[in-house]
Amino acid sequence: MTSEALATRRRAHRRRTTLTWLNTAAVAAVALLFTFPFIWMFLTALKPSNEVFSGSALGSEVRWQNFSDAWTLVPFGRFIANGFFVAIAGAALSVVVAVLSAYAFSRLRFRFRDRLFLLYVATLVLPQEVLVVPLFIMMNEAGYVDTYAALIIPFAFTAFGTFLMRQFFLTIPVEYEEAARIDGASRVRTLWSVLLPQLRAPLSVLGVFSFIGYWNSYLWPLIVINTQDKATVPLGLTMFTGEHGTQWNLVMAASTIAVVPSLFIVVLLQRQLMKGVSMGGFGGR
């Protein structure tokens, strides 16, 4: 290779590096613009209440106490605790149900299996909103209005989890289990100690997505929850609008607090999230 060719290559390489950085800067700028609503949320949360509608980034003073005010004006700590409880319990239930059903659909043989599974899958396209009126009436008749159970149980049985887990089960060779079965392990034992350890990633994917679904859910809690004691975070956010209006700076402070757990999830679990989505997790929104 001649020195001239080397120089050309080096120049090309340098140009490419510059281009890469320019490109990165452009994406960064777009991403910054994209996150502007969150930035504005945070900035507004620090303003005095009568400056919420001013166009400037900072108010006449920076009021960190808005966060503590938001916390005490409505029992926001309670909403967060409720939200976590409902989301964790709901996610756990969804995962258990999905794993058991998916095992049956992928590993067991029984009459009508494929037809039943098709029926499951068909409900993937069913908007949950179609069901809220009868679900509400059922909950009311059963005396479950305004309970955690009403928040958690009805939405833990969507076909989605079963569908997703089954897809994963089908990727695992059946030999491992057969070996265990020959050694005399029960089906539950095989599922628990042979299959599940290989499915840690998909399980956490399903768990995280169920968690997010519960954490962000609004329409159903709005319908079925009557008291602040049981309200979850999205419902709590709307409670700042009272008989005498809305305190926007506090709403934004509360919204900022509500966004933080999602932020943590994204940062900590981004690999699982991205994997989950690309495997068709979460069912689109």
Partner 1 sequence: MEVTTGARTAAAPPSAPDPHGGGRPATARRTRRRRDDSAVAGLFLAPGLLGFLLFIVVPLAGSALISLYEWPLFGTPVFIGLDNYTKLFGDPAFFTALTNTLVFAFVYTALNLALAIAIALWLGTRMKGAGIWRVVFFLPVITPMVANALVWRLMLSDDGVLNSTLGGVGIEGQSWLSDSRFALAAVIAMSVWQSFGYNVVVITAGLTAIPKEILEASRIDGTNPWQRLRYTILPMISPSLFFASTMTMIGAFQVFVQAQVLTQGGPGESTNTLVLYLYRNGFSFDRLGYASAIAWMLFVVVMLVTAVQFAGQRRWVNYDK
Partner 2 sequence: MHVRHLTTTVAAVAGLAVTLTACGGGDDSTSTTGGPLQLYTWVSSQSDREQWESFVSEAQKEDPDLDVTIEGPSFADYWTKVKTRLSGDDTPCLLTTQAARAQELSSLLMPLDDLVEKHDFDLSEVDPSMLEGMTVDDSLRAIPYDAEPVVLFYNADAFTAAGLTPPGPEYSRERFLADATALTTDDHKALAVTPGMFIPAAWATAGDASWLNGDGDLDLTNADFVAQLQDYFDLVAVEGIANPPNAADAADVAQQAFTSGDVDMLIEGPWMYGTFDEAADFTLGVTIVPSPSGRPHGMTAGSGFGIAANCDRPDDAFEAIVALTSTGVQESLAASRGIVPARAEALPAWAEGKAPGAADVVTALLGNATAQVTTPTWNQVETLMTQYSVEGYRGQRSAEEILRTIQDSVGG
Q: Binder to partner 2 among 8, 246, 262, 270 (CB under 8 A)?
A: 246
Cα distances from 52 to residues 17, 48, 254, in angstroms, run 43, 7, 14
CB of 27 to partner 1, least distance (A): 5
Q: Which stretch binds partner 2 (CB under 8 A): 29-37, 70-78, 116-124, 154-162?
A: 70-78
Task: Compute how many other C-beta atoms are within 10 angstroms of the C-beta atom of residue 242.
Answer: 10
Q: Which of 210, 247, 255, 256 binds partner 2 (CB under 8 A)?
A: 247
Which two three-digit tokens encode residue 227? 């008291």
- Of 70, 91, 163, 272, the residue at the interface with partner 1 (CB under 8 A) is 163
Q: Which of 18, 23, 50, 60 binds partner 2 (CB under 8 A)?
A: 50
User: Which range, of 16-24, 122-130, 203-211, 274-282, touches partner 2 by CB under 8 A?
Assistant: 203-211
How many chain residues interact with partner 1 (CB under 8 A)?
107
Q: How many of the chain's residues bind partner 2 (CB under 8 A)? A: 44
Quick one: which of 31, 62, 99, 51 has its CA closest to 248? 51
Report CA-CA distances (Å) from 170 to 38, 106, 199.
40, 6, 11
Burial of 254 (0-12, 13-18, 19+ CB in 10 A): buried
- Residue 196 binding partner 1, by CB under 8 A: no
Question: Quick check: 173 binds partner 2 (CB under 8 A)?
Answer: no
Residues 99-138 close enough to bind partner 2 by CB under 8 A: 136
Distance CA 145, CA 139 (A): 6
The minimum distance between CB 144 and partner 2, in angstroms, equals 9
Q: What is the x/- site pattern for partner 1, positions 99-138, by CB under 8 A?
A: -xx-xx-xxxxxx-xx--xx-xx-x-xxxxxxxxxxxxxx
Instruction: Answer whether 283's CB lies under 8 Å from 160's CB.
Output: yes
User: Which ranges in 47-158 belong to alpha helices (H)?
Assistant: 65-73, 76-107, 113-122, 132-141, 148-152
